[in-house]
Amino acid sequence: MAAVTWHRHLRVERMPQIWCAGCGHGTILGAILRGVEKSEIDPSKLVIVSGIGCSSRAPGYVALDGLHTTHGRALPFATGIKVARPDLTVMVISGDGDLSAIGGNHFIHAARRNLDITVVCFNNSIYGMTSGQYSPLTPRDAMATTAPYGHIERPFDLCQLAIGAGATYVARGTAYHAGLVTNQVTRALKHKGFAFIDAISQCPTYYGRRNRMKTGVEMMKAQRDTAVNVKRAAKMPAEELAGKIIIGDIHVSQASEYTEEYQRVIDRAQGRT
């Protein structure tokens, strides 16, 4: 059996971590660190940036350079790092509230620029840290602290939003499909351009308990039972796909990358071209 090497990236002295029993965030973080190992990128050149939330605590448990910033603003900080130091590999870890509500505008513009960073959304369908308010990814009819009679809004499909905004690698996995997330992180880190992974996580404490799934195990079984691979989904009629989550590599394309374009501007301004 291959030696387990990804543990070296954990700051065990910071444990136990803050996540509740059954939370999917630790599983997703483990998948990310395995993906970092598999990508064979130089860990001393990797920076992990997060905003605020349960998910955004992840970089604090990782023995790599990291920034824990302000709510919704991980992408502006990450953009600054990447533009100043294009030689670094930059990853953003964000929650669904952090990334798609307060940080939603930053998300669409980072994707539009095709900035060469990897963004992983720990998508638990809820604001976990502040006790279960609905987010733009909370499913319709779900119960939430701020929707005690059922949620009336339609959620974003964050992968489709990323594609529409110009992202060039877009994928979805789940905590149940952690091996898939590992491989997606590896591909995302190697991809030149804006790479987005919607990693479905579970929050039994604030989402599951209100929505008839009391434990993390029940929620992971739901991930297993509702996930459909993107290749299979392409052959299924729309009505059969209702209520399903499409997983896999959803979109891969090539486009000019922001820091390379910016370097061309610097060269022109300094009379080199």
Nearer to ligand TPP, 88 or 142 (CB): 142
CA separation for the pair 229, 125 (Å, rounded):
20
Interaction pattern, residues 28-67, with ligand TPP; x per rule: CB under 6 A? ------------------------xxxx------------
- Alpha-carbon dihedral angle through residues 226, 230, 235, 241, given to the nearest 10 degrees: 30
The residue within the footprint of ligand TPP, chosen from 39, 124, 184, 223 (CB under 6 A), is: 124
CA separation for the pair 258, 116 (Å, rounded):
7
Q: How many residues sit in the footprint of ligand TPP (CB under 6 A)?
A: 17
Nearer to ligand TPP, 186 or 205 (CB): 205
Interaction pattern, residues 133-152, with ligand TPP; x per rule: CB under 6 A? --x-----------------
> Nearest approach, Cβ of 216 to ligand TPP (angstroms)?
14
The residue within the footprint of ligand TPP, chosen from 61, 107, 122, 194 (CB under 6 A), is: 122
Residue pair 32/71 in contact (Cβ under 8 Å)? The answer is no
CA separation for the pair 101, 109 (Å, rounded):
14
Q: Can you say whether residue 92 is alpha, beta or left, with left for phi > 0 and alpha for psi between -120 and 50 degrees?
A: beta
The residue within the footprint of ligand TPP, chosen from 104, 128, 173, 208 (CB under 6 A), is: 128
Residue pair 273/264 in contact (Cβ under 8 Å)? The answer is yes
CA separation for the pair 25, 203 (Å, rounded):
9
**Binding of residue 211 to ligand TPP (CB under 6 A):** no
Interaction pattern, residues 68-97, with ligand TPP; x per rule: CB under 6 A? ---x-----------------------xxx
Residue pair 167/251 in contact (Cβ under 8 Å)? The answer is yes
CA separation for the pair 28, 30 (Å, rounded):
5
- Point out which span in 128-136, 160-168, 224-232, 234-242 binds ligand TPP (CB under 6 A): 128-136
Residue ranges binding ligand TPP (CB under 6 A): 52-55, 71, 95-98, 122, 124, 126-130, 135
